[in-house]
Amino acid sequence: MAEVSTLTQAPTTAEILREKIRSRSARVGIVGLGYVGLPLAVEFARAGFEVTGIDVSQSKADRVNLGDSYVGDVPSAILKPLVESGKMRATSDFSVVRDLDTINICVPTPLRKTKDPDMSFIDSACQEIARYFHPGLLVILESTTYPGTTDEVVLPMLSKSGLKVGEDFFLCFSPERVDPGNPQFQTANIPKVVGGVTKACTEMGRLFYSQALERVVPVSSTQVAEMVKLLENTFRMINIGLANEIALMCDRMAINVWEVIDAAATKPFGFMPFYPGPGLGGHCIPIDPFYLSWKTKQAGIEARFIDLAGYINGQMPHFVLSKVQNALNDAAKPLKGSRVHVMGVAYKRNIDDVRESPALDLLLLLEQRGAQVSYSDPHVPSLRLDGRTLQAEPQSIAAAADCVVIVTDHASFDYAALVRQAKLIVDTRNALKGFDSAKIVRL
């Protein structure tokens, strides 16, 4: 009787990686340890994975290895034990990619002055990863970008290795949804959208994120996932632009725009309140819609809503400047030579991030008109402005100013004391709601 072969088939690359992810023995890499990358790295370390953060900034890597967090949403008290236990470490050396099983790319994607995408950080990260690329890697791009980036830019760079996507390695896009300073929604409990180049890639990405995050939302392609992020932030940018335009209208008609919005918000259907302000800031809302606008122009489509909302939002620092100038004029003071003190320079309340902050534009505009400027911000001890450094002042200095401008409504400011002590206040955030004083000028 002939012998029956008992040879078993070796596990595939996908099966090996899936088992590593399920058993949490996969070695996780996070490229870019900023507001997106560091919180993500911490969540996977807390889930039991060994995580290596990679950042071109050696000083950031050194601070992580000391357990010293520089990101507000990651307390050092959480980071330090993960470092001490060996679950978390950081380096500036990309050669560690040789030993990794997964890589999340969380690098910046700014706009050039011409409003077209600056892909240099993604290109640089992918070039470094490609140098040490190997079979069995799951690569996920999280940096916000235009639809098609993952397939058109990242995939060709990684495919030069000769490995086949969906079989030898896996590639996905998953939009970051970080909201710095939000106490309710953080990395672990914000639903995670993920789309892969192939179905196998999507499933690998879904499996990976589900080990550390509460909910994963798979979509059919990388382009869908890329578009999701742009829709989310374009929605916010356009609606804020509408609120700002309504504020401009109300100002001309001497109507309190804040009262209008509050009353409209009582409608239980068909309305969602958005609020005006001194301008847009941060790393997403002022930037991401222009990725979509740029991409659609390549297809011969004009993004008119986006461009118009961007223009209106971009004019708000100038509108605030005119409010300051008119308020001083009513007090028989010229803007030139007046002392103007800005309360809050971070782009949103209770955080330390000044990227794209409208306060920067306003400070420069005030200086160009001859004002003497100063600022208070408990989260931003110093500020680079037009090639020099400004130091934050205590709130008490506001009493000596000719005009105080509330740009960022931090919770730690003593608004009652400000109303008592300041001579004149321009409130761009409705921070002084409930205060009734002739010295308050509202947006």
pLDDT of residue 373: 97
Arithmetic mean of pLDDT over the chain: 93
Question: Distance (Å, rounded) from C-alpha 192 to C-alpha 126?
Answer: 22
Q: Supply the pLDDT for residue 430.
A: 97
What average pLDDT does range 220-234 have in this prediction?
A: 94
Whether the CB-CB separation of 160 and 127 falls below 8 Å is answered with: no
Residue 152 corresponds to which amino acid? E
Q: Is the pLDDT of residue 415 over 90?
A: yes
Farthest CA pair distance, the chain: 112
CB contact set of 281 (below 8 Å; sequence gap of 6+): 346, 347, 348, 354, 355, 356, 357, 358, 359
Report pLDDT for 3.
Answer: 53
79 neighbors 64 (Cβ within 8 angstroms):
yes
Mean of pLDDT values over 297-305: 83
Helix (H, G, I), strand (E, B) or coil at 8: coil
Nearest by Cα to 221 from 241, 258, 247, 195: 195
Tell me which CATH code domain 240-442 carries.
3.40.50.720
Average the pLDDT over 409-435 and give the result.
96
Supply the pLDDT for residue 26: 98
Residue 1 pLDDT more than 50?
A: no
In residues, how long is the chain? 443
Rounded Cα distance, 21 and 47, in Å: 11
CB 39 within 8 A of CB 178: yes
**What integer is the mean pLDDT of 253-257?**
96
2 pLDDT more than 80: no
Express each pLDDT in 103-144 by its tens digit: 999 999 887 766 777 889 999 999 999 999 999 999 999 998
Averaged over 411-429, what is the pLDDT?
97
Strand ranges of the sheet holding 403-406, from the earlier edge strand across to the other edge: 372-376, 339-343, 403-406, 425-427, 440-442
Q: What is the pTM of this model?
A: 0.89
Domain boundaries, the chain: 13-220, 240-442
**pLDDT score for 31:** 98
* pLDDT for residue 320: 97
* Residue 292 in this model has a pLDDT that exceeds 90: no
CA distances from 361 to 214, 355, 443 (A): 39, 11, 17
pLDDT digit string, tens, across residues 35-53: 999 999 999 999 999 999 9
Give which of 250, 298, 252 is closest to 276, Cα–Cα.
250
The whole-angstrom separation of Cα 439 and Cα 18 is: 64
Q: Is residue 178's pLDDT more than 50?
A: yes
Query: Could you say which of 126, 172, 250, 284 is catalytic?
Result: 284
Domain range 13-220, its CATH number among 3.40.50.720, 3.40.50.300, 3.30.60.50, 3.30.390.30: 3.40.50.720
**pLDDT on residue 175:** 95
- 299: confidence class by pLDDT, cuts 50, 70, 90: confident
Contact assessment for residue 245 and residue 274, using Cβ atoms and an 8 Å cutoff: no
Which tokens belong to 405? Answer: 């401008």
- Across 64-87, average pLDDT: 96
Q: What are the residues facing 382 on neighbouring strands? A: 391
Measured between alpha carbons, how far is 271 from 249 in angstroms, rounded to an integer? 19
Please list the helix, strand and coil fractions of the chain in percent, rounded to the nearest 5, in that order. Answer: 40, 15, 45
Q: Which of 412, 419, 328, 312 is nearest to 370 (CA)?
A: 328
The answer to whether residue 314 scores a pLDDT higher than 50 is yes
* pLDDT > 80? residue 418: yes
Task: Provide the pLDDT confidence category of residue 285 given band limits of 50, 70 and 90.
Answer: low
Reply yes or no on whether the pLDDT at 7 is more than 70.
Answer: no
pLDDT given for residue 334 in this prediction: 96
Q: Could you report the per-residue pLDDT of 188-217, keeping only the tens digit for each? A: 999 999 999 999 999 999 999 999 999 999
Cα gap 40→164, rounded to integer Å: 27
Residue 349 CB coordination number (10 Å): 16
Is residue 284 annotated as part of the catalytic site, yes or no?
A: yes
- CA 352 and chain centroid, separation: 12
**Same CATH fold, 240-442 and 13-220?**
yes
Q: Which secondary-structure segment (H or E) carries 343? A: strand 339-343
Taking the CA atoms of the chain, what radius of gyration do you get in angstroms?
25
Q: Average pLDDT of 146-152?
A: 93
